[in-house]
Structures are given as structure tokens and as C-alpha cells.
Amino acid sequence: MIDTLKQHLAEVEAFSSTSKDEIEAFRIKYLGKKGLLNSFFAEFKNVPNGQKKEFGQAINQLKTSANEKVNTLKQAVENQSETQGKYGDLTRPGEPIEIGARHPISIVKNRIINIFSRIGFNVSEGPEIEDDWHNFTALNLPEYHPARDMQDTFFIQTDPDILLRTHTSSVQVRYMENNRPPIRTISPGRVYRNEAISARSHCFFHQVEGLYVDKDVSFADLKQTLQYFTSEMFGKSKIRLRPSYFPFTEPSAEVDVYWGLETETDYKMTKGTGWLEIMGCGMVDPNVLQNCGIDPEVYSGFAFGMGIDRIALLLHQIPDIRLLSENDIRFLDQFKSSL
């Protein structure tokens, strides 16, 4: 009987498996309710008294070895399962990296910057929280000027001289104060106006304004620059300039591009005329140059400004301006392929 126990002890020590089913069968064979160990313990009463001590020690050793073997193999299988759960199949190809999408505002802004950079315009930026001088007074809009009502302004309650800029023309003022002509710069950025939020307007939006100041700058230079821009941006070279009014330019004009009437959408966008307004422009008022420390007797210049949001709505056929600021992933994912 002792020899049989020793044979089983050798079998236990030699056993190895990575299968949960095989390990469980091994456990039941030796440690189960009807397992071999219980059978050996039942035979203990039939063992001669002289062999009981040796027989008892052999049974205990077999039980201990069987328990340790089962626990060791189970732990090894669990560790392997955790590793596979954490890292998966290491031979499989890696998961594809999710590609982000550019915001339509960024797409349009980058296109505008790229177009004007080709003809020597640099990019200038300024603070969104501005003072009255840079936002209004220096731009030929002194206090109580009726044209200030054209831009419903967010003023800072604790200081009526501080406000959220209503246009990026304030950046042009700062640039002219710190740089001498020739000046050729565009100023993209976010602006704020106290307007009702709807599908076509918002209380904050994005503008890009351009400025060119040098000797002998004429309205013809302005027209050629804008014609180049519309041709590059929209693929449309036919433009018209309608007389308008802006306090900081004289003469001033609204710029229309001939969009055409080829589709039903064209009719809707242009209200059946084929013409689409895209920006305002004009020759820089001499008072503005003088306020910025530039001699208007020596230098002249032109300026223009357009809404980035409006162009984004136009190019991408977006029906509601509010979509541009709601960060809806379903909307933004549509621009993954855009540059």
C-alpha cells in the first residue's frame, strides 16, 4: 500500500497542464469527495499497527503535494488569462489610430491665410479683451459717434473703457502703432457682438481683416487684391464693388462675387441674382493713419474684412451657424478628409 502511495506521489509531482479542465479533473481525482485520498484515509484502519505511522505520513505528503500542484497550476492559468486580457493576441496587427478632424472654421481660416501669404501678407494677432481706443476711437469712432450703434458691444461692467472686441480692426491699430510702412498684414480672430443667436447669427464669430499701407497705394490695388483672393478661394473671378459706408475707410465698398445660377442652391444663396456678398473694404481713412502715428500725406492704404463663419457656411453648405460652436462629434467627423 505504501508503494502505491509513492507511485501516486511521483505522478502528482510529474503532472503539468495549462488546461483548466485537466487541472480540475486532476483535483477531483485526488482531492474530490470520492477521490483517491479519501480512499486511502478509509484504508488507514486496515493498515497494520507497525506501518500506520509511515502510511499516515505518506498520505499527508500526497495530500500536501496534490494541493500545492493544483494551486500552482491554477495560478499560472489565471496569470496567463490576465496577460491575454490586457495585451490581447500580441501577433495581431495594432488597432488603427482614430484620425481627428479639423474644425470648419480652422479649415477656412488656414485657406485664407495661405492665399494671402502668397502675396506677402503676414499674420498679426491681438487681445480679445480690448480698450475703447483700439476698438473704436483710433478707428475714427470717437465717443458718442452714431456709427458705434452698428456694433452692439459687450462692455466690462467694472470698467466701461474695457470691452470684448467687436472686430479685429483693433489688431490692425496695434500693428500700425508698432510697425512702420510698408505694412501688409491680415488679422484673423474671434470677435463678440451682443446679437440674438439664430441660425444665421451668433453673439461671437470669427473675422479676418486685411491691411496694406505703403506709398501710392490706390483703389485699383485693392480691387486687384480682392479679385485674386476670390479667384483662389472660390474659383470665381468676377466681382463687383458697391458703394458703402465704414467709419474707418473712405471711400468704402461692399464686395460681391458672381456665384452663378447653375443649381437650385445657387438660386437660394444669391436670392436669384447670382451675386453673393462676401466682405467689406475701402481705403484707410487718413484720420486712422494719423491716430496710429503714420503720416497720411506720405502713405495711403486699403483694408478689407470678412466673416470666416459665413464663408465656412457657404463653402460647406452648413445650414445653421450654431453647429460651428456646439462641438457635436457627428457634425465634426464630416471634416476628417478636409485639409
* Residues of the binding site: 250
On the 0-12 / 13-18 / 19+ scale of CB atoms within 10 A, 317 is: exposed
In sequence order, which ranges of 32-184 are alpha helices (DSSP H)? 36-43, 52-87, 104-117, 132-135, 169-178
Interhelix angle 52-87/20-31, nearest 10 degrees: 160
For residue 127, the one-letter residue type is P
**Across the chain, which distance is largest between two alpha carbons, in Å?**
129
Alpha-carbon distance of 105 to 102, in angstroms, equals 8
Residues 6+ apart with CB under 8 A from 15: 26, 69
Annotated binding site for Mg(2+): 250
What CA–CA distance (Å, rounded) separates 207 from 108?
11
Contacts of residue 211, Cβ cutoff 8 Å, sequence gap at least 6: 172, 175, 176, 183, 184, 185, 186, 187, 284, 301, 302, 303
Residues contacting residue 49 through CB under 8 Å, at least 6 positions apart: none
CA 273 to CA 259: how far, in whole Å?
9
Residue for grid cell 479683451: 129
Q: Extract the C-alpha cell encoding 135.
A: 476698438
Contacts of 27 (CB under 8 A, 6+ apart): 66, 70
Helix, coil or strand: residue 98:
coil
d(CA 62, CA 161) in angstroms, rounded, equals 92
